Amino acid sequence: MKYKNFPMVPRVVFGRGSFSQLNEILMPKRKNSEAPFIFLVDDVFENNKKITSQIPTLFNDQIIFIPTEEEPKTDQVDVLVEKIRNESNEIPSGIIGIGGGTVMDLAKAVAIMLTSTGKTEDYQGWDLVKNEALYHVGIPTISGTGAEVSRTTVLTGPDKKLGINSDFTPFDQVLLDPELTNGVPKDQWFYTGMDCYIHCVESLNGTYLNAFSQSYGEKAGELCHEVFYDGNLSEEESQDKLMMASWHGGMSIAYSQVGVAHAMSYGLSYLLGTRHGIGNCIVFDHLEEFYPEGVAMFKKMKARFGIELPTGLCANLTDEEFDTMINVSMGMEPLWENACGKNWKDTITPEKLRSLYEKM
């Protein structure tokens, strides 16, 4: 098919305090008392009674707290799936991910793998999933990645960091409650929020741009400006708007692609484990030649919130390590093609990437 027939999240709730409705939302989806709901929850909430007391567990439902120091891995998904299979006689009623991009991506992957055979790494790529996933629900607690709307779940496997991109990946239900983002540390708020801003810049300045992506990208960009630059917003308005910016930013790249910052930050992440939001910021800060206006605005936003990015990440790397990063990055062909056009290899050479990485 020339034009992608894109699945979207079929149901979404938006509203401050809407998390308290989770029970009503899940009840009709409960298959029977033996088929539990499995709640994957960011472990930052483990001792947060306000959140945990509202998770509507019944019968054999399970809450599994997920550490998020590291981004999700394929073998972590395999372990979770095995644990869930072993501990329940029936296939669960559904998987609910409550957290940031890390936990939402894990929830998507677990829901896919509970109805698929083999190992998670076998499904990294495009349209390799053949069976419908288990009912799965995404509930973001930090805004920016767009993982709540996207058709992918980004996982690090034994030999690549690549998403499971499939029609079965998007959530069946999303619950957007901006109050859940209370308590996000300022630096992390900025890094994950900038992931959204960078999605807009990369999509709006890409060769894949079309009216569909543009309409979402422009809206997301406008909301990011209000939140991070010139809006005089209350805390609540800022939370509400950033949650919707993330949604629109995710929709914008759905029908287009990201670009240089993402391609290079995948390299950093693969070699050094640098996390997505901060990695994108570190790279984007040096991309004036690709995105002059976007980077100038980014620097103003950074200054407004007193954000200091780490430096010297690549100071002591060996030639071999540089080559690993460069290979991972150059392997992201659609991203480069979107950013620099069909002939991207004329300008994006290993030497060029090395000179950029050396600045970081």
Q: Which residues bind Zn ion (CB under 5 A)?
A: 195
**74, interface contact from Zn ion, ligand NAD, none, CB < 5-8 Å by kind:** none
Residue placing its CB nearer to Zn ion in the complex, 56 or 331: 331
Query: Does residue 277 interact with ligand NAD by CB under 6 A?
Result: yes
**301, interface contact from ligand NAD, Zn ion, none, CB < 5-8 Å by kind:** none
Residue range at the interface with ligand NAD (CB under 6 A); choices 9-17, 170-178, 179-187, 343-351 = 179-187
**Which residue number has the CB closest to ligand NAD?**
101
Using alpha carbons only, what angle is made at residue 273 by residues 137 and 109, rounded to the nearest 5 degrees? 25
CB-based burial label for 74 (10 Å; 0-12, 13-18, 19+): buried
Q: Which of 153, 166, 173, 265 binds ligand NAD (CB under 6 A)?
A: 153
CA distance 93 to 30: 5
Residue placing its CB nearer to Zn ion in the complex, 148 or 195: 195
Residue placing its CB nearer to ligand NAD in the complex, 60 or 188: 188
* 79 CB neighbour count, 10 Å cutoff: 11
Instruction: Name the strand (E) or helix (H) holding 173.
Output: strand 173-176
Residue range at the interface with ligand NAD (CB under 6 A); choices 18-26, 82-90, 181-189, 221-229 = 181-189
Residue placing its CB nearer to Zn ion in the complex, 42 or 195: 195
Residue placing its CB nearer to Zn ion in the complex, 173 or 257: 257
Residue placing its CB nearer to Zn ion in the complex, 239 or 280: 280
**Which residue number has the CB closest to Zn ion?**
195
Query: Does residue 328 interact with ligand NAD by CB under 6 A?
Result: no
Radius of gyration over every alpha carbon of the chain, rounded to an integer in angstroms:
20
Size of the site for ligand NAD (CB under 6 A): 30
Residue placing its CB nearer to ligand NAD in the complex, 195 or 337: 195
Query: Does residue 152 interact with ligand NAD by CB under 6 A?
Result: yes
Query: Does residue 146 interact with ligand NAD by CB under 6 A?
Result: yes
CB-based burial label for 276 (10 Å; 0-12, 13-18, 19+): buried
CA distance 335 to 261: 9
Write the CB contacts of 343 (distance below 8 Å, at least 6 apart in sequence).
none
Helix, strand and coil content of the chain, in percent to the nearest 5, comes to 50, 10, 40
What is the nearest approach in angstroms of ligand NAD to the Cβ of residue 38?
Answer: 18
Residue numbers 16-45 binding ligand NAD by CB under 6 A: 42, 44
Query: Does residue 145 interact with ligand NAD by CB under 6 A?
Result: yes
Query: Does residue 265 interact with ligand NAD by CB under 6 A?
Result: no
Residue range at the interface with ligand NAD (CB under 6 A); choices 3-11, 126-134, 145-153, 205-213 = 145-153
Contact between 217 and 114 under an 8 Å Cβ cutoff? The reply is: no
Q: Which residue has the tokens 């997920």?
A: 66
Q: Which of 276, 302, 322, 330 binds ligand NAD (CB under 6 A)?
A: 276
Write the CB contacts of 124 (distance below 8 Å, at least 6 apart in sequence).
74, 155, 157, 160, 162, 163, 164
What is the nearest approach in angstroms of ligand NAD to the Cβ of residue 289?
Answer: 24
In single-letter form, the type of residue at position 45 comes to F
What is the nearest approach in angstroms of ligand NAD to the Cβ of residue 315?
Answer: 25
Q: Alpha carbon 147 to chain centroid distance?
A: 4
Between β-strands 12-14 and 173-176, what pairing exists: parallel, antiparallel or unpaired? parallel
For 86, the token pair is: 């072993």
Query: Does residue 213 interact with ligand NAD by CB under 6 A?
Result: no
**Facing residues of 97 across strands?**
40, 138
Q: Which of 76, 181, 213, 256 binds ligand NAD (CB under 6 A)?
A: 181
Contact between 71 and 275 under an 8 Å Cβ cutoff? The reply is: yes
Nearest to 260 by CA among 192, 208, 191, 333: 333
Q: Which residue has the tokens 């407004």?
A: 304
Interface residues toward ligand NAD, by CB under 6 A: 42, 44, 68, 71-72, 99-103, 105, 141-142, 144-147, 150, 152-154, 180-181, 183-184, 188, 192, 195, 276-277
